[in-house]
Amino acid sequence: YWLIGAAAALLGFGIVMVASASLHRLADAPFYYVNRHLIAAAIGLVGALVLFQLPLAFWERYGTHLFFFGIVLLVLVLVPGLGRSANGATRWIPVGSFNLQSSEFMKLFAVIYVAGYLVRRQLEVTVSVWGFVKPMILLVGACALIMLQPDFGTTAVLLATALGMLFLGGVPIWQFALLIIGAVTALVGVVIFSPYRLQRVTTFLDPWADVQNSGYQLAQALIAFGRGEWLGVGLGNGIQKQFYLPEAHTDFLMAVIGEEFGLVGTLIVICLFVVIVWRSFRIGAWAERQGRRFASYLAQGFGLWMGLQAFINIGVNVGLLPTKGLTLPLMSYGGNSLIVACLVIALLVRIDYELGQGD
């Protein structure tokens, strides 16, 4: 109930904040974003109910199939004439009136695949370098396809989550350290040799140096937090979302929360995410005690993913990290992200349910 309560609170508060941040964006259709957000929430909740009915054995059996299905979706995005582009990125596949973002579902498929792999190859992972390298080859391939979209933020979350799961699965420290060094080196290389990413990194270090151009988003977000002070200016009374802060209803929703509900509001949101991560790892520990290793790795993987994505999004909003373009799970406007987050919560509840049934 702690898990469901925290998720429901974030989902409900997210709907309110998306409305607050977007009603002014389209004068002739003020409820456009709110209606689409509600539709995505409804789809996510229906999908969650469906997934809750499926036993964990189903996901363990078909995890590898789902991973390669995700690879196919990532390839289809890059097919000329099929993938849809916006703001210089090609990340969506039009399906009627819905735009499918394959990278969001790939995160879900990757966690399920790695959890299954750790169960099947437990001994090989702990004693053999090859046992560690094999899943990383596939994961790096998936990340390469995501980077071609390009989507640096999703790549970072997917890789970090997978590495965390492999570490929890028993990968020796020295192998893990070598891969971390390699991954960091590769990411640094990507940043250095990509002018717009290098600009993002240097801008976040000092947004005021170019406040009218590359530092504009972060500067406006920091102003929003500053205006909010302790208790905020009140719901709907924020100024930054109206005239200054771009993407207020998506990537920078936390800045709107900071302005309208102050430090207290932001801390409540952070605490709700902490509850989700805490319950995920408690469920994982419970599964481990019962010998349900797939369930354990799956719950821990979901906890890592939700915690990392929330941390990165909030970190970007407060200037702790470079701009990544990641949504705040369960809250930000973005149909695919919202739907997948609902599915993750459903799977966590299913794990808890099956563990209870096994007692």
- What type of residue is 243? F
* Mean predicted confidence (pLDDT) in 260-285: 96
pTM for this one? 0.91
pLDDT digits (tens, 9 = 90+) for 166-200: 888 887 777 777 777 877 787 777 667 666 666 66
Q: Which residue has the higher pLDDT, 209 or 316?
A: 316
Task: Tell me what percent of the residues of the chain surpass a pLDDT of 90.
Answer: 56
**Which pLDDT band holds residue 52 (cuts at 50, 70, 90)?**
very high
pLDDT of residue 359: 44
Pairwise pLDDT comparison (251 vs 281), residue with the higher score: 281
